[in-house]
A = this chain, B = another copy of it.
Amino acid sequence: MNFPPVKYSSDSDMNLVEQKNNSQKRKIIKHLFLYGAMANTDLGKFVKLSTPKIISLLNELKNEGMIEELGQGSSSGGRRPNLYGNKEDAFYIVGISINIYQTSVAIFNAKNQKITGDHILPLTITHGISIIDTIVQFTENIIQEKQIARDKIWGIGIEMPGLVDSETGINKTYMVSKRPVAEVFRKKFGMEVLIENDAKTRAFAELRFGAAQSKRNVLTVHLDWGIGLGIIVNGKLYKGRDGFAGEFGHLPMVDNGILCNCGKTGCLETIASGTAIVRMAKEGLKEKRSSLLGQLVDNDPEKIEIRSVVQAANMGDQFSISMLANVGQWLGKGMAYLIQIFNPESIILGGQISEASQFILPPIQQAIHIFCNPELGNEIEIKVSELGSQSGIQGVAALLLERVLDKK
C-alpha cells in the first residue's frame, strides 16, 4: 500500500527538469513551513536560482494551492518585497507523543501552527501493542472533530521511549509485536507513519525550533524517568546504525552497582534518573529522613513522583536537595564523558528533572571541571530547554514532514 499525499515526488522516470523543479518546490515548502513567510530574495539564498525562475516556481505553487501571497515585507529603502507563505490548509501533519504514563496528540497545519490543543490520554505504555487501538481511536476522533480531509494529512509522527529503529519501524523495548509497530499504525491509520525515539525527537525540536537552531554540534539530555541523549552533529540529528545511538543512561558508571532493568548493573540510570530519584526518595521516607517530602505525599511512599521531589526541594527540603545534588554530580561526570567525546557547542537539558535546574546545574558544572579537559569543558554552555514538555510532538511532526519531503 502506497500513500498518495506526497506531492512533488521526483521519480527517476521523470525528466531531469521536472525532477529538479519538484525538488526545489519541496525545498521551498519545507522552508516556509519551518521559517514562515518569506520574500523571493530570501528563498533565493538557499535555492541557488535566478529571480525569474524562483518567481515562476512560486507562481506554480500558488496556482496549485500550496502557497499564497501574504502582502509585503519591510524594506530598508526600496520597493517592498512580496511575501510568500504556505497556505494553512495546504496540508496537515499529526504528532503523537507516547510517554510512560500518558499519550498526547496534536495536529499542525502547513504553517506549523498547532491547530488543536495538546489532547492528553492517560495511558501506561505496554511491552506489547495492546494500546494501539486506543491511541488510533483517540487520534481519529481529533481528526474528525477538526474535519480535516484525510488526503490532506501528509502523515503521522509518533515519538516513544525505547530502542526505536525508525527505518524499519521497530521498537525493541516497548510496543513489540511481530510486524513492525510503525507498519501496524500505518495500516490502521491508512497514512504515512514515522516512529522515533523521544530523546531524538526532542533534540530535533531544539534543532529546528529551540536553542540549537543556529548551532551545528549540540547534545540534548532528556532527564525524565529514564535518561535519554539526543545528538546533533554537523547540523543534523544523528541516529547511528540502527537508530539506537544515545544510550547514555546505560553507561556503566558504578562498580558493583544496582541492577538496572537493562540487565546490567551500575548504569547511570540506576543512580541519576527520575526512577532512581523516586526509589531513593521512597527509601528515605521509610527511614523518616524527610518531613517536608512526607507532608507532600501524605506520608505514603508509594505516592512519590518526580515532581514531588522537585517540589520538596524548592520548598527547602534538605533531603531532596542533597539527593538532587548527588544526581547532578553523576550526571556531570557522564556529561564530562560526552564533552570530551563530542566537543559540543552546548548541552541542553530537558525533561522533568531539568525543572530542578537550580539544584542540579551547580554540581554538574563542578563535576565537569573535575573530570573534563579545561579546553573542552570551560567554555561549554549548559542550559535548560525553553521548549517545554510537549516539544516532542512538535519535533516528531517536523521530522515526519522532512522525511516526507526529503524522500525523492
Q: Which residues of A contact B (CB under 8 A)?
A: 16, 19-20, 48-50, 163, 172, 217, 229, 231, 233-234, 236, 238-248, 250-252, 262-264, 333, 336-338, 340-345, 370-371, 373, 375-376
Candidates B172, B251, B264, B345; contact of A375 at CB < 8 Å: B172
Query: Given the known A-B contacts A16-B50, A48-B20, A264-B371, are A340 and B250 also in contact in the complex, defined by CB atoms under 8 Å?
Result: yes
Interface pair B241/A345, CB less than 8 Å apart: yes
Interface pair A248/B217, CB less than 8 Å apart: no
Interface pair A252/B336, CB less than 8 Å apart: yes
Extra contacts, 20 of them, besides A234-B236, A252-B333 (Cβ < 8 A), are: A19-B48, A20-B48, A163-B375, A172-B375, A217-B245, A233-B233, A238-B342, A239-B343, A240-B342, A241-B344, A242-B375, A242-B376, A247-B343, A248-B341, A252-B337, A252-B371, A263-B373, A264-B370, A338-B341, A341-B341
Q: How far is the CB of A393 from chain B (nearest CB, A)?
A: 25
Contacts of A252 in B (CB 8 A): 333, 336-337, 371
26 A–B contacts from the bound complex (CB under 8 Å): A16-B49, A163-B375, A217-B241, A217-B245, A229-B341, A234-B236, A234-B238, A238-B342, A239-B343, A240-B342, A240-B343, A240-B344, A244-B375, A245-B341, A245-B343, A246-B343, A247-B340, A247-B373, A251-B340, A251-B341, A252-B333, A252-B336, A262-B373, A264-B370, A264-B371, A264-B373
Candidates B233, B243, B370, B375; contact of A234 at CB < 8 Å: B233
Contacts of A246 in B (CB 8 A): 341, 343
Contacts of A333 in B (CB 8 A): 252
Contacts of A344 in B (CB 8 A): 240-241
List the number of copies, as a whole number.
Answer: 2
Q: How far is the CB of A207 from chain B (nearest CB, A)?
A: 14
Q: How far is the CB of A196 from chain B (nearest CB, A)?
A: 14
Interface pair A343/B244, CB less than 8 Å apart: yes
Q: How far is the CB of A311 from chain B (nearest CB, A)?
A: 33
Interface pair B343/A243, CB less than 8 Å apart: yes
Question: Which of chain B's residues has its CB closest to A16's CB?
Answer: B50
Cα–Cα, bound, A370→B340 (Å): 23
Question: Which of chain B's residues has its CB closest to A240's CB?
Answer: B343
In this complex, the member of A240, A243, A252 whose beta carbon has the largest number of chain B beta carbons within 10 angstroms is: A240
Interface pair A341/B234, CB less than 8 Å apart: no
Cα–Cα, bound, A245→B238 (Å): 15
Question: Which of chain B's residues has its CB closest to A244's CB?
Answer: B343
Query: Given the known A-B contacts A234-B233, A234-B236, are A340 and B172 also in contact in the complex, defined by CB atoms under 8 Å?
Result: no
